[in-house]
Amino acid sequence: MASLFGKKYSTIKVKKKDIPEGLWAKCEGCGQLLFTKVLVENMRVCPKCDYHHSIGARERIEQLADANSFVEMDADMVSKDPLEFTGVKSYLAKIKEDQAATGLKDAAITGEAKMNGLPVVLGVTDSRFIMGSMGSVVGEKLTRAIEYAIKRRLPVIIVSGSGGGARMYEGCLSLMQMAKTSAAIAKLHDAGLLYVSVLTNPTMAGIMASFAALGDLLVAEPGALIGFTGPRVIKQTIRQELPPGFQKSEFLLKHGLIDSIVSRKQLKNYLVSMIEVLTGNE
């Protein structure tokens, strides 16, 4: 019994109902709590502040490709450990850990798809898999996809989401992929075919220093961090304050590095319309 000002009251114990995990999500932009279902239905774009949350490669493909039209290429390609890299954990252990967490074999998925009936070659990198970094597998898959597009005379769309750049676990073998993918894009250009590069948050380092920056058309999602070295490192190096919004999509559009900023919800139709205009297939 509990008392308050001399009066006695009975204490009633209420059993707290279990709340399912994953029911709510906190917006990384405005901090608001959102129903996860509502966020997913809105393509993981916050309905309150328009913040574009990161999404996985397969979810991205579902958003861009027509239903049941995506045919994956090189699905079973997996990374080896040529340097027998060891650190806090081995390279192979890290690969297995991220494979289990993401359901992916590596950080990129490539394939042929249709977008509003328009055939394209589509590649997507996934920041959840070792930060979307480019090792031998990512470089090889993207290169093969580009070579496939050249043979079939198809436009190429690569959606980049990589904060990891070249994959340190593979040393110079990873750095070589920058040159290899860039050479493949050059062959695509020589063949007179279109390449659209879509930059999402984040697109950094060796990815941005190679294939991601070489599009005939560079499109970015709102608020995406894009660059080579991050703003914190740059600020510490030059010991100067950086301009507001430095390295974000809006800053880069203003200074001419990218061609347009497109919301995720309009991205598919925008890409289709631009491909039709730029290839003369209206």
Q: What is the pLDDT of residue 11?
A: 60
Whole-number pLDDT of residue 248: 86
Q: How far is CA 64 from CA 27, 145, 239, 241, in A?
A: 23, 17, 42, 38
Q: What is the mean pLDDT of residues 150-162?
A: 94
* 88-108 mean pLDDT: 92
pLDDT of residue 279: 87
Amino acid letter for position 107: A
Q: Which residue has the higher pLDDT, 143 or 131?
A: 143
- Tell me phi and psi for residue 112, to 5 degrees: -100, 140
How far is Cα 242 from Cα 262, in angstroms, rounded to an integer?
Answer: 25
Instruction: Give CA angle at 154 (149, 155), nearest 5°.
Output: 100
**What is residue 8's predicted lDDT score, i.e. its pLDDT?**
60
Rounded to an integer, the average pLDDT of 138-165 is: 93
Q: Between β-strands 2-4 and 7-9, what pairing exists: parallel, antiparallel or unpaired?
A: antiparallel
Q: For 5-27, write each residue's pLDDT tens digit.
A: 555 656 656 555 555 667 888 88
| Span 31-71, pLDDT tens digits | 888 888 888 888 888 988 888 988 889 999 999 999 999 99
Return the residue matching tokens 């994956």: 72
Phi, psi (deg, nearest 5) at residue 255:
-100, 10
Q: Tokens 């050249």 identify what position?
A: 150
- Has this prediction a pTM greater than 0.75? yes
- The DSSP output letter for 61 is H
Using alpha carbons, list the distances in angstroms from residue 122 to 13, 191, 217, 237: 57, 18, 15, 37
Does 3.90.226.10 match the CATH number of domain 54-279? yes
Residues 6+ apart with CB under 8 A from 280: none
Overall size of the chain counted in residues: 282
Mean of pLDDT values over 194-202: 94
Cβ–Cβ < 8 Å for 256, 223 = no
Condensed to tens digits (0 to 9), the pLDDT of residues 68-85 reads 999 999 999 998 888 888
Cβ distance 174 to 168 under 8 Å?
yes
Does the structure show a pLDDT above 60 at 230?
A: yes
Say whether pLDDT at 268 is over 90.
Answer: yes
Question: How do residues 231-255 score in pLDDT, each as one tens digit?
Answer: 777 777 777 777 776 778 898 899 8
Give the pLDDT confidence score for residue 25 in this predicted structure.
Answer: 86
For the record, the structure tokens of 142 come out as: 């993207």
| pLDDT, averaged across the chain | 87
Give the pLDDT confidence score for residue 68 in this predicted structure: 93
Which residues make beta-bridge pairs with 112? Answer: 71, 121
What pLDDT does 276 receive? 92
Sketch the domain layout of the chain as residue ranges: 18-53, 54-279
Question: Ranked by mean pLDDT, which of 120-124, 161-165, 277-281 comes out on top?
Answer: 120-124
Average pLDDT over residues 253-266: 92
Query: Whole-angstrom Cα distance, residue 99 to residue 107?
Result: 9
Six-digit token pair at 245?
């919004």
- Tokens (6 digits) for 53: 């949350």
Encoded amino acid at 121, one letter: V
Phi/psi of residue 109, each to 5°?
A: -125, 135
